[in-house]
Structure 1
Amino acid sequence: MDEIQKRKVVQHNDLISSVAKMDKIPLKIFELAVSCIDTDNPPKDNIIYLSKSELFTFFKVNDSNKHSRFKQAIEVMQKQAYFNIKANKELGIEYESIVPIPYIKWTDYTDEVILQFQPQIMPYLIELKKNFTQYALSDVMELNSKYSIILYKWLSMNYNQYEHYSFKGGRREEQLEVYQNPSISIKELRIMTDTINLYKTFKDFDSYVLKNSLKEINEHTHFNVSYEKLKVGRSIDRIQFHISKKEQPQELNGEYKAREQDPDYLQDKINKEVNQQALFAEAMQSLYTTSLLESSLLSPFDMQDITLMANLQLEVYPLYKQLEEIVGLQGVKKHLEYVSNKKLDYSKPNLVKYLKTAVMRYLDSGDTKQHEIIKTKFVKQSQKTVEAVAKDFMTENNEELSQAELDKIKSDILKQMNGEGLDHE
């Protein structure tokens, strides 16, 4: 069991995005077999060795029928299981249909199981100089649905790129956000999960493929994942996922441990923590924090989360500032009330992403243009009022004022109209 917990699975991204024409058991046997490959020393003749006891541990099988169940699973795997792979090659797109493990041998009197991979599948498992993904076998072990495994691998593929480029650099902030919050069309998702002819209504697809899978992934893997349904017109066109990683302090090994000991990384980490504290302090003083509290989008408990508040200050509040310049602070508050009251089909552990998406859509929607016109008319009307009040002041006091004095009076009047205090000498 300890050995399984330590193992990693590495696959090319084209294989991860392929269509797995197989059920849960053959797919998990394949994942277990791949975890036995040493990519630095590829197996001779594409053969790897498993033990029956390891297989039974992996599948948590303890009953008296485990041998017959194992034999049945192997037969199903060899007769029905294959991958439809769509690969982007230099000359164009290529399609392959590959039975991954065509040969398996075992006996009744030994514990050893011999598996031989199809030669055509090996480039997707060992020739991994770029565009590959690594994930924990223990995560796959806990998943009990074919759809959970497929989605987990695809989410890992995206999040691993987010982690890689966050540390190494080479990608813009917007690109990193796409990796952490990947989206996929319903059509592509149905193809990948092999459900084009299953769960015909979106309600069923949502329940059996999305909700059930993400529930398993959130409970049993390193990830916390929520999702959002994106519409085109009245139809749901895409699914956008929002991925975060659970804290794993015990995983300080390999590359992660080396990174933790890197002086440049440690200094960068310190700088980020100092910056986060500064952002947190700004957020605690912001009127937008008060508005979020008033609209019940933020709780006093949330305000104790330094990372959350710092990210609100960094990513969301600048957008609220843009909105305020168009519709005023009351307009921002109305927007937050709308967001709070609207019953979106959206899981909200990632509050920053949720609020950021909402305000960006509002800013891009064009609904703010009317407010901008009204604001312009108000300013013009205010200027006329200022001129009139200033003239009345001059008439009443029978004074000739310099331009500087007149501008000062206009400024004071505008401040009074906007509810601000007057300047004092």
Structure 2
Amino acid sequence: MSIITEFEKNQKQVKAWNELSKRKVVEHNSLITSIAKMDKTPLKMFELAVSCINTEAPPKDHTVYLSKTELFAFFKVSDNDKHSRFKQAVENMQKQAFFKIQEKKEYGFEFENIVPIPYVKWADYHDEVTIRFSPEIMPYLINLKQNFTQHALSDIAELNSKYSIILYRWLSMNYNQYEHYSAKGGRREEQVETYRNPSISIRELREMTDTMKDYPRFQSLESYIIKNSLKEINEHTSFKVTYEKVKKGRSINSIVFHITKKRRADDNSYKLEDKVYQKAKVQKEQKENLLYAEAMQSKYTKLLLEHFLLSPYEMTNPATMAGLQRNVYPKYDELKDLMGIDGVKKHLSYIYYKQEPYSKGNIAKYLKKAIEQYLPTVKRRGL
């Protein structure tokens, strides 16, 4: 009898998790970049509660309802002590947790300290949990027409560090903008790329992670906040993220992250009903395919191969080849008109000998920058 009961409990938890894994969390970007004065459990509980908000018809009383089954499935707890642990987590959240939000206004900055969930009600004799958001936090969660971020609740569930969650939300904010402007336009290509390769100063990173007084040595900050967080994010979310350190003088001044999306069947599933997005996405894919085909036939592709600036492996990447055809090869045409094809070959030989190792991560961007710097010199000389 006890075995059947335990099986039924597990089945119920699996069903709850399957439902949770389909949810998304939508928040204003100001909340993403705010200082979360809380540990991982209240932060994850807040994200779970936010996923219950129907942004099309938000609750007028700021109240959402969870089940304890959902909560335990989300936190992946099944031991006998889970109810008392839940009670303790709620108490800690209400006593300690708040967001410190900073917004730039016309005459300076405006600061808000907001306790997001001041009221929670539950009973030991039924499954329902009542969660009421504060009126002050609601503008950051509903009526979001612009400057908002949405990410998968299932990704948050797998993260076990406060810093991983904070960094994941910030990376999602940037990558959301990359996807949006890639599909719908409205930004220059260089601007769009910065969303996929966002930069943050060390001071901003410390403020966002609430570590202004912690880990005073950069090596410690890098190990505990950056490396450990990215290890979790890369293992458990839809992102694959690398980073590089940027120096100013002798000190590390900022971090540049490089975000790619893992191939998953449910990528962008929350956008399937956005017909404008889908139409723009199809048009963009068709254009990219055309550029890819043109690049494969281009004489410049052959020249890049001959000068060891492009590998056969990179030729299999449609995005790389489309980027070359769109941004680099037209510049090579200009150079050819000025100096002939030998002038292009001379330029490529120079680039090969001066090439930096970091450029190999994005060869199209590197070659674009190189030719854009060289062409004005050629034109000034009248060569």
Q: 1:80 aligns with which of 96, 100, 110?
A: 96
Q: Which residue of 1 aligns with 2:207?
A: 191
Tell me the distance in 1 between the aligned counterparts of 2:267 and 2:345.
47
Contact 2:243 2:258 (C-alpha < 8 Å) held by counterparts: yes
Q: Which residue of 1 aligns with 2:298?
A: 282
1:333 positional shift: 2.1
Tell me the distance in 2 between the aligned counterparts of 1:115 and 1:127.
20
User: Unpaired segments of 5 or more residues in structure 2?
Assistant: 1-16, 336-342
Q: Which residue of 2 aligns with 1:307?
A: 319
Q: Which residue of 2 aligns with 1:13?
A: 29
Tell me the distance in 2 between the aligned counterparts of 1:273 and 1:358.
21
Matches within 5 A, 1:273-352: 273-282=289-298, 285-292=301-308, 300-312=312-324, 314-315=326-327, 328-336=347-355, 339-340=356-357, 351-352=361-362
Q: Which residue of 1 aligns with 2:56?
A: 40
Structure 1 313/359 Cα, relative in aligned 2: closer, same or farther at 3 Å? closer
Tell me the distance in 1 between the aligned counterparts of 2:292 and 2:186.
23
2:243 paired with 1:227: yes
Structure 1 284/72 Cα, relative in aligned 2: closer, same or farther at 3 Å? farther
Structure 1 63/362 Cα, relative in aligned 2: closer, same or farther at 3 Å? farther
Matches within 5 A, 1:104-253: 104-251=120-267, 253=269
Tell me the distance in 2 between the aligned counterparts of 1:283 and 1:18.
50
Contact 1:280 1:306 (C-alpha < 8 Å) held by counterparts: no
Q: Which amino acid aligns with 1:54?
A: E
SS of 2:215 mapped into structure 1: coil
Structure 1 220/264 Cα, relative in aligned 2: closer, same or farther at 3 Å? closer
Tell me the distance in 1 between the aligned counterparts of 2:348 and 2:173.
41
SS of 2:245 mapped into structure 1: strand
Q: Which residue of 1 aligns with 2:365?
A: 356
Tell me the distance in 2 between the aligned counterparts of 1:253 and 1:281.
35
Structure 1 195/291 Cα, relative in aligned 2: closer, same or farther at 3 Å? farther
1:43 positional shift: 1.9
1:291 positional shift: 3.2
Structure 1 85/285 Cα, relative in aligned 2: closer, same or farther at 3 Å? closer
Structure 1 261/198 Cα, relative in aligned 2: closer, same or farther at 3 Å? closer
1:81 positional shift: 0.9
SS of 2:308 mapped into structure 1: helix
User: Unpaired segments of 5 or more residues in structure 1?
Assistant: 380-425
Q: Which residue of 2 aligns with 1:103?
A: 119
1:155 positional shift: 1.2
Contact 1:18 1:85 (C-alpha < 8 Å) held by counterparts: yes
Identity across matched positions, percent: 54
1:237 positional shift: 0.7
Residues 383-409 of structure 1 show CA distances to partners (whole Å, capped at 9, x for unaligned) of xxxxxxxxxxxxxxxxxxxxxxxxxxx
Matches within 5 A, 1:379-418: none
Which protein shows a greater Rg? 1
Alpha-carbon RMSD across the aligned residues, in angstroms, is 3.2
Contact 1:19 1:84 (C-alpha < 8 Å) held by counterparts: yes
Q: Which residue of 2 aligns with 1:2?
A: 18
Tell me the distance in 2 between the aligned counterparts of 1:126 and 1:41.
9
Q: 1:50 aligns with which of 58, 66, 78?
A: 66
Structure 1 327/4 Cα, relative in aligned 2: closer, same or farther at 3 Å? same
1:200 positional shift: 1.4
Structure 1 9/262 Cα, relative in aligned 2: closer, same or farther at 3 Å? closer
Contact 1:283 1:312 (C-alpha < 8 Å) held by counterparts: no
Structure 1 319/231 Cα, relative in aligned 2: closer, same or farther at 3 Å? farther
Contact 2:328 2:367 (C-alpha < 8 Å) held by counterparts: no
1:250 positional shift: 3.4
Q: Which amino acid aligns with 1:179?
A: Y
1:214 positional shift: 1.5
Contact 2:351 2:370 (C-alpha < 8 Å) held by counterparts: no
TM norm structure 2: 0.81
Tell me the distance in 2 between the aligned counterparts of 1:221 and 1:320.
40
Structure 1 200/281 Cα, relative in aligned 2: closer, same or farther at 3 Å? farther
Q: Which amino acid aligns with 2:303?
A: L
Structure 1 267/309 Cα, relative in aligned 2: closer, same or farther at 3 Å? closer
Tell me the distance in 2 between the aligned counterparts of 1:238 and 1:167.
29
Q: Which amino acid aligns with 1:69?
A: R
Tell me the distance in 1 between the aligned counterparts of 2:103 and 2:67.
33
SS of 2:66 mapped into structure 1: strand
Q: Which amino acid aligns with 1:10?
A: V
1:329 positional shift: 4.2
Contact 1:105 1:115 (C-alpha < 8 Å) held by counterparts: yes
